Structure 1
């Protein structure tokens, strides 16, 4: 599991890259968004590049790799399902849970997130009305079986 700092940078690169046609998040815009110095951003972009999550281009910024996009979507899915759970199951207001869901998204496992999704009936939208990213499909799964038709294996 990536650190909270890595996940937050990946999310921010993802968000900023959505507004550029070439999908690049510039160092300056990242520094502003993260509230840190450009030097701190440069250091983290090099780390993201070493982890295979982004392609770092000196003096330009970074673009997420496919693995980086997968991580961003996974983190956004975690947060969205946590917000749904806190609002629907605990009857909390969406404004109350935003900060809690942001902090919790970094500590909850994918298995717990999957179970929350099942418990909530696989919601498609979070309490703010934003679409919830689809879960990743296991690579080893047969291509002719839909992800939601898979059943757990039984031991014999």
Structure 2
């Protein structure tokens, strides 16, 4: 995905985007609020505001779904998580620790840095939590 640096959204909003991707289709804001333990009105307000980014379409009382651009961005976010957790696992963290720490750090790591880490790791296709997709990656050699 071009013209992103990976720092466009707050870490919490990135988590919302990944949650919507993982649950496919339209996700109700109550599902998001229950998953993250937040007040539904807080999530509704946040998701409504995110619709201006072009990453999601939000219809009050119906839910939110990713746009094509949003799906690409969410896939980048998943790739970023996978690359960071794999890097951390190389430094002795267990799979669970690497996943938890990646979740804390990833919102502050730019796409450029993720691409450099990916290159240094040899463009891995599998991470600690599963497959690492490179569909949105411009640093990886094409198959």
TM above 0.5, yes or no, is yes
Which TM-score applies when normalising by structure 2?
0.85
- Show the counterpart of 2:66: 64
Corresponding residue for 2:133?
A: 133
| Residues 35-72 of structure 1: CA deviation (Å, up to 9, x unaligned) | 11221121012111111111111111011111211221
TM-score in terms of structure 1 length? 0.79
Q: Which of 137, 141, 148 does residue 141 from structure 2 map onto?
A: 148
For residues 78-130 of structure 1, give each alpha carbon's deviation from its aligned partner in whole angstroms, at most 9, with x where no partner exists: 11011111112x132112222111011111111111111111111101123x1
- 55, 71, 77: which one pairs with 1:75? 77
Structure 1 residue aligned with 2:32:
30
Query: Once superposed, which parts of structure 1, at least 4 consecutive aligned residues long, lie more than 6 Å away?
Result: none
Q: Counterparts of 1:95 and 1:31 in 2: how far apart (Å)?
A: 24
Matches within 5 A, 1:41-52: 41-52=43-54
Higher relative contact order (CA 8 A, sep 6+): 2
User: What is the alpha-carbon distance in structure 2 between the residues aligned to residue 63 and residue 122 of structure 1?
Assistant: 30
SS of corresponding position for 1:134: coil
Gaps of 5+ in 2: 1-6
Q: 1:77, 1:132 within 8 Å by CA — same for their partners in 2?
A: yes
> How many residues matched?
134
Cα distance in 2, alignment partners of residues 4 and 48 from structure 1: 13
Distance 1:124 1:74 in 2: 14
Q: Structure 1: state its 5+ residue gaps.
A: 18-22, 139-146, 150-156
Larger Rg: 1
Structure 1 pair 108/135, CA: closer, same or farther in 2 (3 Å)? farther
**Which of the residues 84, 87, 94 maps onto 2:86?**
84
